[in-house]
Amino acid sequence: MRQFDLFGKPKIKNTIVPAMPYMGNKRKLATKLLNAMYNTIGDFQNFYDLFGGGGSMSVAALLAGHNVVYNELNTGVANLMRYIQAGGKLPEKWISREEFIQFKNNNDWYGGFIKCVWSFGNKQDNYLFGKDIEENKRLLHNVVVYKCEKSLIEINEKLKINIPETIFEIKNKTERRLFLRQYIFEINKNYRGEAQLQQLEQLERLERLQQLEQLERLEIFNKSYNEIPIKNNSVIYCDIPYKNTGEYQIKNFNYELFYAWALKNKNPVFISEYAMPNQFFKIASFNHHSILSAIVNNEVIENLFWNKKDIQKELEL
């Protein structure tokens, strides 16, 4: 929940928020971005996350006490958010390359789940693992999730290591995963890739999001950004596809149309991007590691821009 100083300016604690795995996810920046908006325009009631993706900004705004609208054009991802909100059971089973290809483009929640958890770099197109390590990952998955003794014997033989059977005495799945990763790291640094079980880490993110009580207040839409009606006393946040970076599954974004919409909008519109036209005002910058970057160490300076509009607080008719 946001706090207020003597001058009525709100502020929230900077933290990492729970969110769905998604390319360009803002879970490490969400609270910083929200504080930058407060510093620019003060307090507001409603928050519109029009390119919702993994939902980081929606979650940060919910935790701050705002009324929040999450919108995501990708139907599968939007339906996954609805499924999580409703408390649906999340699959722990191993997803093969064949199953990924078969279901990744489906518009139901399962298609969204496949895209978010089992795609490489969360880009939603390619399978999470290369063919050379896929079988090793499957065996380790079985060890952690199902406590499978047969898989433990097989992976020990394949990697020429000796993961102890005491791993099965660890009751918590997350702790088993962490034990396994640390053990393999210490045995042989060459197996670093095998030790990372990204699919389970990402599943744990979804589970943490599902446990968030405030999520039941989230209003969810699956439309284009310019089809969402906006109330007064609202802020609009847009995490648009960045220019000249890794492409999202939904491609061919019309930047000029978006710029015109944002400048014409009477509400304050905040946009995350690396660069924007001169009509937009840069209010904050953050050093950030991003898989979207072409730079070797993935370190980029991410900016938050504003359309220079203030809160519209007139009474609605």
Q: What is the CATH number of the domain that holds 54?
A: 3.40.50.150
Confidence bin at 290 (pLDDT 50/70/90): low
Q: How far apart are CA 232 and CA 234, in angstroms?
A: 5
Q: Does any domain span residue 92? A: no
Q: What is the mean pLDDT of residues 142-169?
A: 96
Asked if 162 and 196 sit in the same domain, the reply is yes
Q: Does any domain span residue 37? A: yes
Q: Could you count the other beta carbons within 10 Å of the beta carbon of residue 97?
A: 15
Q: Does any domain span residue 29? A: yes
Q: Which of 209, 238, 253 corresponds to the end of one domain?
A: 209
Among 115-124, 218-227, 242-251, the minimum mean pLDDT is found in: 242-251
Confidence bin at 157 (pLDDT 50/70/90): very high
Q: Does any domain span residue 83? A: no
- Classify burial at 224, counting beta carbons within 10 Å of its beta carbon; exposed 0-12, middle 13-18, buried 19 or more: exposed
Q: Could you count the other beta carbons within 10 Å of the beta carbon of residue 16?
A: 12
Among 153-157, 163-167, 212-216, 290-294, the minimum mean pLDDT is found in: 290-294
Handedness of CA 240, 245, 251, 255 (dihedral sign): positive
Q: Does any domain span residue 243? A: yes
Domain of 56?
A: 3-73+223-306
Q: Does any domain span residue 91? A: no
Q: Which of 152, 180, 209 corresponds to the end of one domain?
A: 209
Q: How far apart are CA 295 and CA 303, in angstroms?
A: 17
Asked if 107 and 198 sit in the same domain, the reply is yes
Is residue 248 over pLDDT 90? no
Q: Does any domain span residue 120? A: yes
Structure tokens at 250: 């939904």
> Mean pLDDT over all residues of the chain?
92
Q: What is the mean pLDDT of residues 267-275?
A: 96
Asked if 25 and 104 sit in the same domain, the reply is no
Q: Count structural domains, the chain.
A: 2
Asked if 129 and 155 sit in the same domain, the reply is yes
Asked if 121 and 189 sit in the same domain, the reply is yes
Asked if 169 and 260 sit in the same domain, the reply is no
Confidence bin at 317 (pLDDT 50/70/90): very low
Is residue 249 over pLDDT 70? no
* Percent of the chain residues topping a pLDDT of 90: 82
Q: How far apart are CA 264 and CA 287, in angstroms?
A: 30
Q: What integer pLDDT is reported at residue 250 of this predicted model? A: 58
Q: Which of 153, 176, 209 corresponds to the end of one domain?
A: 209
Confidence bin at 315 (pLDDT 50/70/90): very low
Q: What is the mean pLDDT of residues 67-95?
A: 98
Asked if 40 and 119 sit in the same domain, the reply is no
Asked if 152 and 176 sit in the same domain, the reply is yes
- Classify burial at 206, counting beta carbons within 10 Å of its beta carbon; exposed 0-12, middle 13-18, buried 19 or more: buried
Asked if 187 and 228 sit in the same domain, the reply is no
